[in-house]
Amino acid sequence: MMHQRWGVALLLTQAAALQAFFAPKSSTPKQQLLDLCTGSNYGANPIDRDRLDGLIDQLASINPTPRPAESPKFSGNWKLLWTTESELLFAVEKGLFAAGPCTGVEQTIDVANGRLENLVLFDNDSRLFVGSTIEPDAADASGARFNFAFSSCSLRWRGYDIPLPPVGKGWGDLLYLDDDLRVQRDVRGDLLIATKR
């Protein structure tokens, strides 16, 4: 009888170990954020905002990059994943006149040369381009803030280029930055989540 109890206990222990081994692994806050934003159409589709804000707070508390606005990791080619920027969401939802739907939103950042380029792509050889200057904010003790000012703007609609006046400047705070994920909040409180291409 005693051997049967030990055998059952051993069997239950082994079963629990196997179950734990094959159970889905809990994902990191970073992966949870990426999963949550996937399929959100850059933020145009609703998602669980409380969960998103909680994940951003978690990531901000473990930001692996000191002085992120000065880090070489900030520079590179980025693809927008999610945002609350109303002008961008308008373009995503409505398209560009009759050019068709938005097909991509990209940023190229080169901090060393002070260059920030935003590109919103649409069907039918159409796009919106906004060029800016960018630099880390020397007055920010945390090294997380950067300043930008629009310097050029153009619209390509069905292959025709139309120059537009560049209007605007502001700042952003990098809440989280690693080798392939960037989370930031701008002067208006808008959030932007981007992955490196």
The pLDDT tens digits for 117-143 are: 999 999 888 999 999 999 999 999 999
CA–CA dist 47, 50 (Å, integer):
9
The pLDDT tens digits for 32-54 are: 999 999 999 999 999 999 999 99
What's residue 2's pLDDT? 52
CATH topology of domain 29-196: Lipocalin (2.40.128)
CA–CA dist 194, 80 (Å, integer):
4
What's residue 10's pLDDT? 44
The pLDDT tens digits for 55-95 are: 999 999 999 999 999 999 999 999 999 999 999 999 899 88
Which residue ranges make up each domain of the chain? 29-196
The letter for the amino acid at 107 is Q
What's residue 5's pLDDT? 53
How many alpha carbons lie under 13 Å from residue 155 in its C-beta half-sphere?
Answer: 11
